[in-house]
A and B are shown apart, each in its own frame.
Chain A
Amino acid sequence: MSSWALFLPHGRLKVKTTAEQQAEKEKERQKKLQLFKAGTQKIFEKRKIKEYDDEGLSISGQILQANPDFYTCWNIRREILTQLKDERTEEEFQQLSQEELYLIENCLRKNPKSYGAWNQREWILMFMPTPDWERELQLCNRFLDLDERNFHCWDYRRFVCKHSNVGPDEELKFTLKKVEANFSNYSAWHYRSSLLPIVHPSCERNSVAEAILLKEYDLVQNAVFTDPSDQSAWFYHRWLLGRGNCFIFKLFDLDYFVVVCVMK
């Protein structure tokens, strides 16, 4: 993790093991480590003499599946792919790019929060001859089903939408689906806050059309009543209050408003 690694291996429970188990595990790790070190040395050497080829892709791919945050290794792959784009036919390079997408997906399965892997995905999508944006949107759906709060995936989703003309209205519908599935999905409420003023603007900047606001209040009130201790809906509610005219307050049960004031 950093401003620095904002993400490091987190949440690894310390397990008590016997000396024998430990020795066995250490042996296995040393074997893996030797392969990792030999592979790293090899790709550094090949890079030095600018030997950019399939072997380099294969070795660096294995290294990255073991350690997807090894950023220099992704850089070496980009250098190789940049050269191969010139050397291969468009069809061949499209095939190579698809293989790159498979590799990245494997890395993301291992670590869905790898900055390096998500970043490589954006890079290859912009670099390959014919990107399949529909497939990428499906990938986002799948990863968000596994972890609805993965902010890397939400960011990647916005990148995909931007490049494939998925409109903010469609995305607004998607966030509704997500919020209805789980009112505690703060990531979806956040996304809604940026989409709503775009899809339903009113004459004032960054505000929302009156009729829509009322519907939105219903939604968020539902969330608050379902689980009053859930912060997500409260933060969103606080924001909604600032989107329209002041008389909107009067539409609310006084007690409800007092609770919000206390929360503030």
Chain B
Amino acid sequence: MLTKDVIISENSTKLLLLKKHQDYLSAYGVKKDNYEYCMTEYLRMSGIYWGMTAMDLMGSLDLLDKQQILDFVRECQHVCGGIGASKGHDPHLLYTLSAVQILTIYDALDVIDISGVVDYVKNLQQEDGSFYGDKWGEVDTRFSFCAIACLALLGRIDAINVDKAVEFILSCMNFDGGFGCKPGSETHAGQIYCCLGTLAITGNLHYVNADLLGWWLCERQLPSGGLNGRPEKLPDVCYSWWVLSSLKILGRLHWIDKEKLVKFILACQDEETGGFADRPADMVDPFHTLFGLAGLSLLGDQTLKEVNPVFCMPEYVIHRLGCDLQLLNV
């Protein structure tokens, strides 16, 4: 069988093009009538979080218009306390977390009604411990992570039933030690990150078979150096984040070949426009740009600020909060 992978060309970029990425992200969204920009309005709040976290990791947060961003977040909160992706868009846990992350980085949580957010999150927890993403009832371990990360950043984790939330996460554990969207769902690196993040915040990592899961995670590395999110899939820069952060939480980051992965991530930069794509020579976007940079930060790049593996936010911010996290050591 042919391994699904890409070939990194000899003359691919080997330097981190910081200035290019800063230009790319500060220009993103300036042209409001850009097609891609308008078609992604349904995830705008997360887009802002990706862009600003990337900028902060590069030490250039001041290039963004802080007041404009704060005003935008305020306008997206609904009476129920939840926050939508954009003005007029419905509240959802995904965007509520992004908004709280943005405000935490800016140390400006007072911009929104915090107790409203806490109530919104709390009311989405179900009897089995799971969380609905919004009032319509979709269940996913991503939403468990959103709820718990959000409350942890607000220092209000006591508002929900943590034991039940953990019980639900554990009910999604699979034969390979990984986790899926809901009970019975196949293991996926993105869901592993969400579940490990939830367990790290609540101090329950002892439930994980770290060697078995660590093996599955490090097997994500392909000959090109890139990581995929499931067996027999193509590599993608965003898994540099989900797989790496999971290995970091499990204390097994050294189980992959760092040098080869750095080479793969750098090859995904666009030398003309700045930004990172999922794979070399593809189109760039702010999402892959953040996860490329965050991956490089976890791999020890000294030109970037240190990133926190659980919250995907600059470590200095989490340090400032005094947030207590459990990480494993080998």
Interface residue B94 (Cβ < 8 Å from any Cβ of A): yes
Interface residue A200 (Cβ < 8 Å from any Cβ of B): no
Residues of A within 8 A of B184 (CB): 155, 158, 194
Interface residue B234 (Cβ < 8 Å from any Cβ of A): yes
Q: Which residue of A lies closest to B143 (CB)?
A: A3
Mask for A24-60, Cβ within 8 A of B = 1, else 0? 0010011011001100000010000000000000000
Residues of A within 8 A of B187 (CB): 190
Residues of B within 8 A of A158 (CB): 184-185
User: Are B175 and A239 in contact, with the CB atoms below 8 A?
Assistant: yes
Q: Which residue of A lies closest to B229 (CB)?
A: A6
Interface residue B90 (Cβ < 8 Å from any Cβ of A): yes
Contact with A149, one of B136, B142, B232, B279 (Cβ below 8 angstroms): B232
Mask for B14-47, Cβ within 8 A of A = 1, else 0? 0000000000000000000101001100110010
Q: CA of A123 to CA of B138 in the docked complex: distance in angstroms? A: 9
Q: CA of A238 to CA of B232 in the docked complex: distance in angstroms? A: 18
Interface residue B219 (Cβ < 8 Å from any Cβ of A): yes
Residues of A within 8 A of B134 (CB): 75
Residues of B within 8 A of A32 (CB): 35
How many residues of A are counted as interface, with CB atoms below 8 angstroms from the partner's CB atoms? 54
User: Are A71 and B142 in contact, with the CB atoms below 8 A?
Assistant: no
Q: Which residue of A lies closest to B37 (CB)?
A: A33
Q: CA of A187 to CA of B137 in the docked complex: distance in angstroms? A: 25
Q: Which residue of B lies closest to A32 (CB)?
A: B35
User: Are A239 and B176 in contact, with the CB atoms below 8 A?
Assistant: yes
Interface residue B120 (Cβ < 8 Å from any Cβ of A): no
Q: CA of A223 to CA of B185 in the docked complex: distance in angstroms? A: 23
Interface residue A205 (Cβ < 8 Å from any Cβ of B): no
User: Are A123 and B282 in contact, with the CB atoms below 8 A?
Assistant: no
Residues of A within 8 A of B233 (CB): 149
User: Are A154 and B186 in contact, with the CB atoms below 8 A?
Assistant: yes
Distance to closest chain B CB from A149 (angstroms): 7
Distance to closest chain A CB from B175 (angstroms): 4
Interface residue B264 (Cβ < 8 Å from any Cβ of A): no
Residues of B within 8 A of A13 (CB): 281-283
User: Are A235 and B182 in contact, with the CB atoms below 8 A?
Assistant: no
Q: CA of A89 to CA of B49 in the docked complex: distance in angstroms? A: 46
User: Are B33 and A30 in contact, with the CB atoms below 8 A?
Assistant: yes
Distance to closest chain B CB from A188 (angstroms): 10
Interface residue B68 (Cβ < 8 Å from any Cβ of A): no
User: Are B174 and A1 in contact, with the CB atoms below 8 A?
Assistant: no
Residues of B within 8 A of A1 (CB): 190, 238, 287
Q: CA of A253 to CA of B236 in the docked complex: distance in angstroms? A: 38
User: Are B175 and A227 in contact, with the CB atoms below 8 A?
Assistant: no
User: Are B193 and A3 in contact, with the CB atoms below 8 A?
Assistant: yes
The secondary-structure label for the interface of chain B is loop
Q: Which residue of B lies closest to A76 (CB)?
A: B90
User: Are A75 and B282 in contact, with the CB atoms below 8 A?
Assistant: no
Interface residue A67 (Cβ < 8 Å from any Cβ of B): yes
Interface residue A163 (Cβ < 8 Å from any Cβ of B): no
Residues of B within 8 A of A78 (CB): 136
Contact with B215, one of A30, A33, A187, A264 (Cβ below 8 angstroms): A264
Contact with A3, one of B90, B92, B194, B285 (Cβ below 8 angstroms): B194
User: Are B1 and A9 in contact, with the CB atoms below 8 A?
Assistant: no
Distance to closest chain A CB from B135 (angstroms): 9
User: Are A71 and B190 in contact, with the CB atoms below 8 A?
Assistant: no
Interface residue B88 (Cβ < 8 Å from any Cβ of A): yes
Residues of B within 8 A of A230 (CB): 1, 232
Q: CA of A193 to CA of B84 in the docked complex: distance in angstroms? A: 38
Contact with B232, one of A33, A151, A194, A232 (Cβ below 8 angstroms): A232
User: Are A193 and B175 in contact, with the CB atoms below 8 A?
Assistant: yes
Contact with B231, one of A8, A66, A231 (Cβ below 8 angstroms): A231
Interface residues, chain A, CB within 8 Å of chain B? 1-6, 8-14, 26, 29-30, 32-33, 36-37, 44, 66-67, 69-72, 75, 78, 115, 119, 123, 149, 151, 154-155, 158, 184, 186-187, 190-191, 193-194, 227, 229-232, 235-236, 238-239, 264
| A–B pairs, 12, beta carbons within 8 Å | A2-B43, A4-B50, A10-B236, A11-B279, A32-B35, A71-B42, A72-B89, A149-B230, A151-B180, A151-B230, A155-B181, A231-B232
Apart from A1-B238, A30-B35, A36-B38: 18 A-B pairs, beta carbons within 8 A: A4-B97, A4-B287, A5-B287, A10-B236, A13-B283, A14-B277, A33-B39, A71-B42, A72-B84, A75-B136, A149-B232, A184-B231, A186-B186, A190-B174, A190-B187, A230-B232, A235-B176, A239-B175
Interface residues, chain B, CB within 8 Å of chain A? 1, 3, 33, 35, 38-39, 42-43, 46, 49-50, 84-85, 88-90, 92, 94, 97-98, 134, 136-138, 142, 145-146, 149, 174-176, 180-182, 184-188, 190, 193-194, 197, 212, 215-216, 219, 230-234, 236, 238, 270, 277-279, 281-283, 285, 287
Would you list the 10 A-B pairs with minimal beta carbon distance, nearest first?
A: A193-B175, A239-B175, A29-B35, A12-B283, A6-B190, A186-B231, A190-B186, A72-B90, A72-B89, A231-B231
